[in-house]
Amino acid sequence: MKTLKILTFLLMLPAAGAAWATEVNVVAAIPDLGVMAKRIGGDRIELTVLASGREDLHGVPARPSFIPKLHKADLLLTLGLDAEHAWLPALAAEARNARIMEDREGWIEVFEGVELEDVPEVISRAEGEQHAEGNPHINIGPQNGRVMAENIAYALMEFDPAGEDLYQANLDAYLAELEAMEASLRERGRRLRGHTVISYHADISYLARFYGFEVIGTLEPKPGIEPTARHLARLAKESRERGVCLVIYNQAQPAKLPEKFAKRVDAQAVMIGNMVGAVPGVETWRELQEYNLRVLLEGLDQVGCCPPIRSASTWTVGIS
């Protein structure tokens, strides 16, 4: 009997050791949050990322395989601002893990502290798919990375105080890298200041703020509403009058319309990435920002844009 007890104890040791080795089970809604969490948490976290990065942020397909992953999660990282409202809250509820359901302690929204854009003054169905608290596409703006990383680190520290020193050291190093990245992007992106652009959807406000270009309209007449011939005609007229250089869309949006519209107004269509993993070779958040700047500058070069309508000195591009 004594021998049996000893054998039972020994068989339990590997399982216990595995539990100690991984302290926090983290699920990230999108790859951007996953790469940040791994950079801060290192081997102390077990990471699962739900979206591949190629999807529309608001329309990630809900797969049955997500359910067991969410069921085991200690923390669920989200952008917040209803970015994932169409697919994630229902999945979290289905997973039967009370901790990570929306508005519970394990549901982490990383937008807290970001200087928000496009906060609507009036909420109405007539205005399309609105986001009551502000534009949720914070991950596209280089200025928002440090805030996002800090919120992830603080969530890890709160759940796992024993790992605080590791999380803080990794966060400090990462913040220094992000600050240097911002300065480099800002300097190299100076040519974008003052230019006017059109976007497919109202999703590049933070990018525009950082680089100082102006979004004068969207191909969608309202967020989530299909373009009409009448709307596009008005938009084309204004685009010519305002000297639009770029028509910006992302990999999850159909390319045919922005390319056709760009030709109509003598501009250049440019495809950016809306999150990490959007295109091959974009595997980190820094690579996403580098890719987006590169294609925007290439767009200016290809169209041979005239100098900006407004002087660069009239633009204020702040860091949140």
Task: Name the strand (E) or helix (H) holding 173.
Answer: helix 164-188
Question: Which tokens is 191 given?
Answer: 């040519």
Residue of 51, 48, 36 lying closest to 73 (CA atoms): 48
pTM over 0.85: yes
Cα separation, 29 vs 209, in Å, equals 25
Q: What pLDDT does residue 4 have?
A: 34
SS3 assignment, position 272 = strand
Query: Would you say residue 7 lies in a domain?
Result: no
Query: Would you say residue 216 lies in a domain?
Result: yes
Which CATH number do you get for residue 252? 3.40.50.1980
Q: Report how many domains make up the chain.
A: 2
Query: Would you say residue 22 lies in a domain?
Result: yes
- Tell me which of 183, 211, 238 is where a domain ends: 183
Residues 205 and 70 in one domain: no
- Tell me which of 152, 183, 214 is where a domain ends: 183
Kindly list the averaged pLDDT for each block of 10 residues, start to end, along the chain of length 320. Answer: 39 38 87 98 98 96 95 98 95 96 97 92 63 88 98 98 98 98 98 97 97 98 92 98 97 98 98 98 98 98 72 35
Q: What pLDDT does residue 317 have?
A: 34
Query: Would you say residue 228 lies in a domain?
Result: yes
Query: Would you say residue 222 lies in a domain?
Result: yes
Residues 198 and 146 in one domain: no
Residues 133 and 18 in one domain: yes
Per the CB < 8 A criterion, the answer to whether 148 and 139 are in contact is: yes
Residue of 161, 164, 160, 162 lying closest to 172 (CA atoms): 164
Could you tell me how many helices (H) and strands (E) the chain has, helices first? 10, 8
Query: Would you say residue 263 lies in a domain?
Result: yes
Residues 291 and 147 in one domain: no
Residues 275 and 158 in one domain: no
Cα separation, 150 vs 31, in Å, equals 17
- Tell me which of 167, 183, 199 is where a domain ends: 183
Residues 238 and 295 in one domain: yes
Residues 179 and 232 in one domain: no
Residues 26 and 127 in one domain: yes
- The position carrying tokens 């591949």 is 52
**By residue range, what is the domain housing residue 24?**
14-183
Residues 88 and 201 in one domain: no
Residues 121 and 212 in one domain: no
Query: Per residue in 68-101, is it b (16+ CB within 10 Å) or e — as a string?
Result: ebbeebbbbbbbbbbbbbebbbebbeebebeebb
Q: What pLDDT does residue 124 have?
A: 62
Query: Would you say residue 2 lies in a domain?
Result: no
Query: Would you say residue 4 lies in a domain?
Result: no
Residues 256 and 222 in one domain: yes
Q: What pLDDT does residue 223 have?
A: 87
Q: CA dist 72 to 32, 84, 294, Å?
A: 21, 20, 39
Residues 30 and 178 in one domain: yes
